[in-house]
Amino acid sequence: MTQTTQPIQQAAAIVARAHRLTALVGAGLSASSGIPTYRGPGGLWTRQRPRQGAPPLLSYQEFVRDPAAWWQARLAAETDPSHPIYQMKQAVDQAAPNPGHLALAQLEQRGILHCIITQNVDNLHAAAGSRAVLEIHGNRNRLRCLQCHRRTPRNTQTPQNPPQCQQCNGLLKLDTVMFGEPIPPDVLQACRQAAEQSDCMLLVGTSGTVNPAARLPLLAKENGATLIEINPEATPLTPWCDLSLTGPADAILPQLLNSI
């Protein structure tokens, strides 16, 4: 590889050689699908997060203190056009996968991408056709039982408040991980294993500021992986990356796919 080779071609050559390619994905991938990111200009937390603590209805402690009151307030917020939860729900309900999601699905279908570790809860990887997806922060379309950990589609929510697991009568919460909530151990373990076994990891549209997800590329690197970042901005993970593809993921990922 010569010094003059373009970064996309360099990345394509690395990806083509990889035996165990993974991708760690963040909100930036879904930005061009119309879903706001969390940080940076216009980000959800930039606009709405109080100086201290979690935004209303997003704290795990608040949920466990009174699950019935939480569910009642959540369902009300989802139908109140002035509430940020309603506005986010509208954005995600209307979103469709963009060319970046579709390129990742193609990489999997071509046998190149082993799995996606996504911090996004928007279900757009599945909508794009990706199958091997670890959702480290959960999925907005699912409920999770806090007792038996079974996940079920949200539309199976029971009429009781708080909703109960039909298998074990445990308490159901949204699968989405809340502020102050530990990552479910089964998912965290699978993410760590995927990172450790990677020989190349794409870091797509993440600010790399939220642990434990942000530590996964470092775990991969410790185990010998090459890191390739795809982001219009530098992040705290940039110094650890072997290559940075600077730009929006919905443009760069299709270029990468077409260069392999």
Helices (H), 95-202: 99-109, 124-128, 185-197
Residues in the chain, how many?
A: 260
Report d(CA 216, CA 83) in Å as an integer: 34
Question: Which among 176, 219, 166, 141 is positioned nearest to 57, based on CA atoms?
Answer: 176
Interface residue with ligand OAD among 137, 140, 142, 144 (CB under 6 A) is 137
Interface residue with ligand OAD among 194, 205, 217, 227 (CB under 6 A) is 205
Report d(CA 255, CA 100) in Å as an integer: 10
The single-letter DSSP state of residue 184 is P
Interface residue with ligand OAD among 210, 218, 243, 260 (CB under 6 A) is 210
Give yes or no for residue 8 binding ligand OAD (CB under 6 A): no
Interface residue with ligand OAD among 7, 13, 40, 212 (CB under 6 A) is 40
Smallest distance from ligand OAD to CB 4, Å: 26
101 counts as catalytic: no
**Which amino acid type is present at position 37?**
T
Select 164 or 254, whichever has its Cβ closest to ligand OAD: 254
Give yes or no for residue 164 binding ligand OAD (CB under 6 A): no
Select 161 or 255, whichever has its Cβ closest to ligand OAD: 255
Question: Which among 239, 252, 255, 260 is positioned nearest to 25, based on CA atoms?
Answer: 252
Report d(CA 206, CA 211) in Å as an integer: 12
Give yes or no for residue 184 binding ligand OAD (CB under 6 A): no
| Catalytically active residues, by annotation | 137
Which residue ranges make up the site for ligand OAD (CB under 6 A)? 26-28, 31-32, 37-40, 43, 119, 137, 177, 205-207, 209-210, 231-233, 235, 248-249
